[in-house]
Structure 1
């Protein structure tokens, strides 16, 4: 083989290797996308042939009636995000969620009860991030909820009040690494999101839920950390409730949730829902402490990921974002405070506190899934 033939052979070999490598990368990317979509949908997929109450825009959310449980719908969850400060000036962020999901539409008792309960907690402190998660089936007393007086529980974790209103309430959580005993009292009005509580999650897909927000809550109590010390804490909290009958949808991939406290009387809530074969849909609301909600149209907000961080296992998560809403003089750059807050719950996600710069220099909290 002469020099020219060797050169031609080498060029052909490079082309073949390059084409094969690109094909492998593309196949691997498709496999990852399929696994993300199928993983979430395997757990919380479409109801299919199961018969649950549909989420429709003509249903008006009313309070305190809709603080009750809604077993006629497939899923329901409560969430508390609280920022706390101890007597030494140390800051703690805690996010707790209590989730109900019906595996089918039967009405059964005991071990045949189709209700599944999931509760998880994330505590971010100067000593690091601590997490825990509980999963239980309803019908046997291990987990459940009642409306009068309000109470939800799973094992020895509980949140209760003395009336059918969840506020004022008490949250107790005990884990192997930390304990929480907090009191919550509302400091502003409840707010219903969207059109009378009808919260749209895509303008072209049949995805929606009912949602209630209470961003103005006073919190106080005690936290015990792994160092054996207990601290009295005070701060503010944000309560959310949502229910519906199609949690993710067939081609759902993940979502990005932002809550930002613009001032003592005004907050911003932004959610981006991502789909495999459709454009992402952005939902945003500005909420005042009097319960007034201003819904931001999808085309009136710019949400852009600025920087991605790669974690062990290959997940690339955007921890820097830009949010712009010119009609409300909101122009924020959001930066995560910690880059290690990846949690492997039922749905793996990044979550934790953030700081902003731009039109408002304040704090907030984000949850990112599907990466």
Structure 2
């Protein structure tokens, strides 16, 4: 190689190295970072150009009409939180959620059905925490919902009644570790959250859903433990239902949900929605066994995390809270009964039973996501 060839080769080498360095720098800068907000939006993003029914304040929730399923909306879910006790007084907590999400707005059947069903199950007790999750596509019989008579199912998990109303009904769930077969009967009316069921999730962002709650449900049945022993159990349950078309929103990060039985005749539901570039928005509803409901303005709710627990993964979760609602003379310190209740569902979250002390002595359930 003569001098001229060496000079040309050296120049080309410099150009290649410089170009590669610029490309790598631009790639790093353009690569989207995976944040809590972007992860949740990747799983359950905004509708975008998809056409679903909007959630508007001029549409009241009406029962029994709205026990039906709402495929014209992008998502809907049913949830049951159950506190059970066996004949010796030992407590067991269950949380089961059945969730429908439309990946697009097509109307199709079979494998082309855009409806996706996700159900997850958590049991907390002195034996530890047990979890299970099922995911299925609609249209092939593996999962779905019917209105007359009422039924929702995914694989062998099912909740059904003999009428178009969900209660009284039968809930059957099983996993590799345990199974439960419960009869559920309503002991108090349904309560419409927000403005006749229109539940706003921020005062500046277009986020809302239709929601109703039933905190007073009696349960009786059988619970089979990991050792195969079957126990007779009784207790109470809290039924929730929500549907809408803006599940998370562009800046959504996560939420904190509390279901508290203040007494045998009064219950409190609190939700805090957290956003990347906006202040959190908190809602609360005080419900009694006669169906009376007080929807509390966001500005009258003070919800503060008191302490955090860090898990081996590095995730820090607030498991102690102070809740104040001055207009209702409520001032509570809420603490998790057990700390290691992190579950890696489609959206990772903390779920578990809680106690609350202060103005009232309460028990309930807490669900935290986006941490």
User: Which residue number in structure 2 is paired with residue 21 of structure 1?
Assistant: none
User: Which residue number in structure 2 is paired with residue 5 of structure 1?
Assistant: none
Which has the larger Rg?
A: 2
TM-score (norm 1): 0.91
User: Which residue number in structure 2 is paired with residue 355 of structure 1?
Assistant: 355
SS in 2 for 1:40: helix
TM-superposed CA distance for 1:312, in Å, is: 1.6
Aligned partners of 1:194, 1:291: CA distance in 2, in Å? 14
Runs of 4+ in 1 over 2 A off after TM superposition: none
* Greater mean alpha carbon deviation, residues 292-301 or residues 272-281: 292-301
> Unaligned 5+ residue runs, structure 2?
1-27
Aligned partners of 1:279, 1:82: CA distance in 2, in Å? 32
Task: Report Cα offsets for 1:122-163 as digits up to 9, x if no partner.
Answer: 001111110000000000000000000000000000000000
User: Which residue number in structure 1 is paired with residue 309 of structure 2?
Assistant: 309
Task: Report Cα offsets for 1:292-335 as digits up to 9, x if no partner.
Answer: 21111111011000000001211100000000111111110001
TM-superposed CA distance for 1:119, in Å, is: 0.3
User: Which residue number in structure 2 is paired with residue 152 of structure 1?
Assistant: 152
Aligned partners of 2:122, 2:236: CA distance in 1, in Å? 16
User: Which residue number in structure 2 is paired with residue 293 of structure 1?
Assistant: 293
Question: Would you say 1:197 and 2:197 are equivalent positions?
Answer: yes
Aligned partners of 2:358, 2:290: CA distance in 1, in Å? 26
Question: Would you say 1:140 and 2:140 are equivalent positions?
Answer: yes
Aligned partners of 1:356, 1:75: CA distance in 2, in Å? 32
SS in 2 for 1:263: coil
SS in 1 for 2:89: coil
User: Which residue number in structure 2 is paired with residue 13 of structure 1?
Assistant: none
User: Which residue number in structure 2 is paired with residue 60 of structure 1?
Assistant: 60
Question: Would you say 1:280 and 2:280 are equivalent positions?
Answer: yes
Task: Report Cα offsets for 1:183-237 as digits up to 9, x if no partner.
Answer: 1000000111110100000000000000010000000100001112111000000
TM-score (norm 2): 0.91
Aligned partners of 2:344, 2:80: CA distance in 1, in Å? 19
Spell out the pairing of 1:65-144 with structure 2 (5 A cutoff). 65-144=65-144
SS in 2 for 1:287: strand
User: Which residue number in structure 2 is paired with residue 333 of structure 1?
Assistant: 333
Question: Would you say 1:247 and 2:271 are equivalent positions?
Answer: no
Task: Report Cα offsets for 1:321-354 as digits up to 9, x if no partner.
Answer: 0001111111100010101100000000001000
Aligned partners of 1:292, 1:246: CA distance in 2, in Å? 28
Task: Report Cα offsets for 1:51-85 as digits up to 9, x if no partner.
Answer: 00000000010000100000000000000001000
SS in 2 for 1:66: helix
**What is the number of residues matched between the two proteins?**
341
* Greater mean alpha carbon deviation, residues 172-181 or residues 107-116: 172-181
User: Which residue number in structure 2 is paired with residue 211 of structure 1?
Assistant: 211
TM-superposed CA distance for 1:175, in Å, is: 1.0
Aligned partners of 1:195, 1:288: CA distance in 2, in Å? 17
Task: Report Cα offsets for 1:80-106 as digits up to 9, x if no partner.
Answer: 001000001100000000000000000
